[in-house]
Amino acid sequence: MRYLGLDVGDRHVGVALSDETATLATGLPTLERRGPRKDVQMVVRLVREHQVAEVVVGLPKRLDGSIGPQAEKVQAFMEALRGPAGVPIVPWDERFTTAAAERALIEGDVSRRHRKELVDKVSAVLILQGYLDARKQAAASAEARG
C-alpha cells in the first residue's frame, strides 16, 4: 500500500511517495501551482499513477495548535481534493517541518539556491515519513497490548 505526502504552499506543492511497504518516504518532483482545478488534477494523476491508498497533507498549525490563514488555505485544498482523489485525505501536523527541511539541507551543505528548490520536496518527505512512523508505532503498540 502506497501513501502520498503533500506540502501545500502558495506557489509549489512538495510531493513524497512511500514505498510499497509504507516504510520509507521518497521525494517526487515538486509541482508548480497552476490554479485550484489544475492543482487537484495534478495530484489526482499522481494518486492514480502510483496506486496511492491515502494522501497525507501537511497542515501548518500555529505553535498553540490553532488554525491560521495558511492552514485554512490547505484545508480548502484538501476539501477540493477529497472527491476527485477517491482515497482518504488525511491532515498531518507539519509544525517545524520547513525549518527541519532547511536545517537538513544546510547540514547537507546544499547551496542556498538549491535549498530553495528542494525545501518543498524535503518538507513533503518529512511530513510523510512522520506519518508512516506514527502508523507503525501505533500498530506496534496495539499489537503489544494484544
Instruction: Return d(Cα 124, Cα 46) in angstroms, integer.
Output: 14
SS3 127: helix
Residues 96-145 have pLDDT tens digits of 677 777 777 788 877 877 777 788 898 999 999 999 999 999 888 888 88
Amino acid letter, 58: G
Residue range 2-145, CATH number: 3.30.420.140
Per cent of the chain over pLDDT 90 is: 68
pLDDT(73) > 90: yes
* Residue-level pLDDT at 127: 95
pLDDT band at 72 (very low <50, low <70, confident <90, very high): very high
pLDDT tens digits, 23-55: 999 999 999 999 999 999 999 999 999 999 999
Question: For residue 17, what pLDDT is reported?
Answer: 98
pLDDT in tens, 2-14: 999 999 999 999 9
Residue at grid coordinates 532547511: 102
Give burial (CB, 10 Å; 0-12/13-18/19+) of 64: exposed
Domain ranges of the chain: 2-145
What torsion do the CA atoms of 96, 101, 103, 106 make, to the nearest 10 degrees? -160
